[in-house]
């Protein structure tokens, strides 16, 4: 049953914050970090000439300190940008790149650094033990391998694998069936372009089941729209071509992210009741959330009151709504813009930073607009610490307290990256021997698949995606492989 209590929320103003609920209060504590902590981190980064690439889902304490550093080699983004940022930092003189994310992210950064000629640049994780991911692990299963065997036996098949998987997964898949990676930012474009170039293709998307379901639902919705609307999305498509691709779009049915899984029917029901009661409320949802939450956000998007997509799409929607409000005459501006954050709560730090920059630049005229970020989680989804100054941190420990009545909305794997762990690693970098730091390196695969190393073959689907991003078309080699099967 949904909670009778309101969801926790954070009010962002030009001059500060207001929080409702322990979860939101714990987030707010870290939005203005201790200057001494920031100074220590910045000194370590400068003296080690180290760059940091971090995912939006890092914990609030770590993100707060990173955002506050005045050091050019720091980037907090979605997974699409992380490896590119690492390459840019290496090109600008960074000697070490620290990856704050789960293990497949560090693997991807290492692989792209090597492919870009930066083999000498160090690449590091901040935990000695594995930093896993439920979604990536689903793609390592025998069930996924059997699903790929079925795909490989189907003529003209292309495997579109979510980038949130290991290099081993990418290599083994590519050995069986032509494979290209995607992110939540470019998956729709990848699917539509595939069928534009090869209408008779079969496209197999995995391993995220919810994203696959949501994409299928999105294509069914698109098929009902007029030709002009569809052409604006992709000039080669019409309602007829969208209808034709639907039975050729297949998705894996046994993989999900443990965090996005928490945005289920009970949460969506409570959000929907608030949405219907409040004309000022926008709903955002990541493509990985379950169908109920996705359907609500898709409806909100059609009504001009929401967005579905990637973390960047969500950030752009929220900041875009504020920009539009600030462009109005002072008397016509809404007093409050409210958004349900339908993704991992760590995203709020980047959102608040972007909002505060805009509010601060407009505050000279008393902009009069505040933004409410609503977390669709249980108010008690926090962990007690032994720190007198900061007794609570957002998220729960070890999974306790997570439920579909209001989940954690924080990834326990991502939270294995901490500020203390980052600083400890940076302290050790100049003096430690390579053997002492071996456990902090991304996994080095020794196995050979189809006559190539896992690192080499697993990088090919990523490079195919890079080629698609540059040209807007599937690479010739990938397309030729697809047609030859």
List, for residues 14-41, the tens digit of each pLDDT value.
888 898 887 788 778 888 889 999 999 9
- For the residues 261-287, what does the mean pLDDT come to? 80
Other Cβ atoms closer than 10 A to 462: 21
Residues of the chain with pLDDT > 90, as a percent, come to 48
Q: What is the pLDDT of residue 365?
A: 56
CATH superfamily of 9-29+259-411: NadA-like (3.40.50.10800)
Q: What is the dihedral of CA 221, 223, 226, 230, to 10 degrees?
A: 90
What's the CA gap between 257 and 261, in Å, rounded? 6
pLDDT 10s digits, 388-405: 544 444 444 433 333 333
Could you name the CATH architecture of 35-132+418-440?
A: 3-Layer(aba) Sandwich (3.40)
pLDDT 10s digits, 348-372: 888 988 998 888 887 555 688 999 9
CB 305 within 8 A of CB 282: yes
- Output the 3-class SS for the chain: CCCCCCCCEEEEECCEEEEECHHHHHHHHCCCCCHHHHHHHHHHHHHHCEEEEEECCCCHHHHHHHHHCCCCCEEEECHHHHHHHHHHHHHCCCCEEEEECCHHHHHHHHHHHHHCCCCCCEEECCCCCCCCCHHHHHCCCHHHHHHHHHHHCCCCEEEEEECCCCHHHHHHHHHHCCEEEECCCCHHHHHHHHHHHCCCCEEEEECCHHHHHHHHHHHHHHCCCCHHHHHHHCCCCCHHHHHHHHHHEEECCCCCCCCHHHCCHHHHHHHHHHHHHCCCEEEEEECCCCHHHHHHHHHHHHCCCEEEECHHHHHHHHHHHHHHHHCCCHHHCCCEEEEEEECCCCHHHHHHHHHHHHHHHHHHHCCCCEEEEECCCCCCCEEECCCCCCCEEECCCCCCCCCCCCCCCCCCCHHHCCHHHHHHHHHHCCCCCCCCCHHHCCCCCCCEECCEEHHHHHHHHHHHHHHHHHHCCCCHHHHHHHHHC
For the chain, the maximum distance between any two Cα atoms, rounded to a whole number of angstroms, is: 68
Residues of the chain with pLDDT > 70, as a percent, come to 88
Q: What is the pLDDT of residue 26?
A: 76
Q: What is the pLDDT of residue 397?
A: 43
pLDDT(451) > 60: yes
Tell me how far apart the terminal alpha carbons of the chain are, to the nearest angstrom.
49
More confident residue, 192 or 60: 192
Please report which confidence band the pLDDT of residue 107 belongs to, taking 50, 70 and 90 as the band edges. Answer: confident
- For the residues 310-332, what does the mean pLDDT come to? 91
More confident residue, 281 or 363: 281
Of the segments 61-70, 252-261, 263-272, 291-300, which one has the largest average pLDDT value?
Answer: 61-70
CA-nearest of 99, 89, 179, 93 to 139 is 179
pLDDT(261) > 60: no
Contacts of 345 by beta carbon, 8 Å cutoff, 6+ apart: 23, 27, 375, 377, 394, 395, 409, 410
Q: What is the pLDDT of residue 262?
A: 57
Q: Specify the length of the chain in residues.
A: 485
pLDDT 10s digits, 228-238: 989 988 999 99
CB 329 within 8 A of CB 205: no
What's the CA gap between 378 and 361, in Å, rounded? 34
What rounded mean pLDDT belongs to the chain?
85
pTM: 0.75
- For the residues 286-315, what does the mean pLDDT come to? 84
pLDDT 10s digits, 37-96: 999 999 999 999 999 999 888 878 898 999 999 999 999 987 778 989 999 999 999 999
Contacts of 400 by beta carbon, 8 Å cutoff, 6+ apart: none
pLDDT 10s digits, 206-229: 998 888 988 998 899 889 989 998
What's the CA gap between 430 and 428, in Å, rounded? 6
- Tokens representing 22? 């322990």
Q: What is the pLDDT of residue 364?
A: 56
More confident residue, 245 or 263: 245
- For the residues 428-455, what does the mean pLDDT come to? 85
Q: What is the pLDDT of residue 194?
A: 98
Q: Which residues are 53's β-sheet partners? A: 75, 99
Give the CA distances from residue 80 to residues 101, 146, 442, in Å, rounded to whole numbers and listed in that order: 12, 28, 18
Q: Are strands 9-13 and 16-20 parallel, antiparallel or unpaired?
A: antiparallel
- Nearest 5 degrees, angle CA 315-CA 320-CA 324? 160
- Does the bond joining 207 to the residue before it have cis omega, within 30 degrees of 0? yes
Count the alpha carbons within 13 Å of 377 in the hemisphere toward its beta carbon: 33
What's the CA gap between 237 and 404, in Å, rounded? 38
């Amino acid at each position: 049953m949904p909670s009778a209590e309101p969801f926790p929320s954070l009010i962002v103003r030009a001059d500060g914050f207001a929080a409702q609920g322990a979860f939101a209060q714990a987030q707010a504590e870290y939005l203005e970090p201790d200057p001494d902590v920031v100074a220590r981190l910045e000194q370590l980064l400068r003296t080690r000439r180290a760059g940091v690439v971090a995912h939006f889902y890092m914990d609030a304490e770590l993100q707060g300190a990173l955002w506050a550093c005045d050091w050019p080699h720091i980037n907090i983004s979605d997974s699409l940008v992380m490896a590119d940022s690492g390459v840019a930092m290496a090109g600008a003189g960074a000697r070490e790149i620290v990856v704050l994310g789960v293990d497949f992210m560090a693997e991807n950064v290492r692989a792209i650094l090597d492919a870009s000629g930066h083999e000498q640049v160090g690449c590091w994780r901040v935990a000695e033990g594995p930093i896993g991911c439920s979604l990536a692990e689903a793609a390592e299963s025998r069930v996924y391998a059997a699903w790929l065997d079925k795909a490989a036996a189907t003529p003209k098949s292309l495997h579109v694998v979510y980038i949130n998987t290991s290099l081993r997964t990418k290599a083994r898949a590519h050995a069986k069936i032509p494979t290209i990676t995607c992110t939540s930012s470019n998956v729709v474009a990848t699917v539509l372009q595939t069928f534009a170039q090869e209408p008779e293709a079969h496209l197999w998307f995995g391993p995220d089941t919810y994203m696959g379901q949501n994409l299928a639902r999105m294509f069914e919705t698109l098929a009902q729209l007029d030709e002009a609307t569809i052409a604006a999305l992709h000039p080669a498509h019409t309602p007829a071509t969208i209808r034709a691709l639907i039975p050729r779009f297949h998705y894996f049915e046994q993989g999900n992210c443990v965090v996005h899984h928490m945005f289920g029917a009970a949460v969506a029901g409570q959000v929907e009741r608030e949405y219907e009661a409040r004309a000022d409320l926008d709903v955002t949802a990541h493509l990985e959330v379950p169908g109920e939450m996705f359907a609500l956000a898709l409806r909100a998007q059609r009504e001009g009151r929401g967005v579905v997509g990637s973390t960047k799409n969500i950030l752009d929607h929220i900041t875009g709504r504020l920009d539009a409000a600030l462009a109005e005459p002072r008397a016509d501006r809404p007093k409050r813009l409210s958004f349900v954050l339908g993704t991992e709560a760590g995203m709020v730090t980047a959102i608040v930073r972007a909002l505060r920059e805009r509010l601060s630049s407009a505050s000279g005229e008393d902009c009069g607009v505040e933004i409410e970020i609503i977390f669709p989680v249980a108010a008690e989804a926090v962990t007690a610490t032994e720190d007198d100054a900061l007794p609570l941190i957002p998220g729960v420990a070890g999974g306790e307290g997570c439920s579909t009545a209001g989940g954690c909305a924080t990834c326990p794997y991502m939270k294995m990256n901490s500020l203390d762990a980052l600083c400890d690693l940076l302290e050790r970098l100049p003096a430690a021997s390579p053997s002492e730091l071996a456990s902090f390196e991304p996994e080095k695969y020794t196995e050979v698949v189809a006559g190539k190393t896992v690192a080499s073959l697993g990088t090919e689907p990523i490079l195919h995606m890079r080629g698609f991003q540059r040209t807007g078309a599937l690479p010739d080699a990938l397309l030729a492989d697809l047609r030859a099967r």
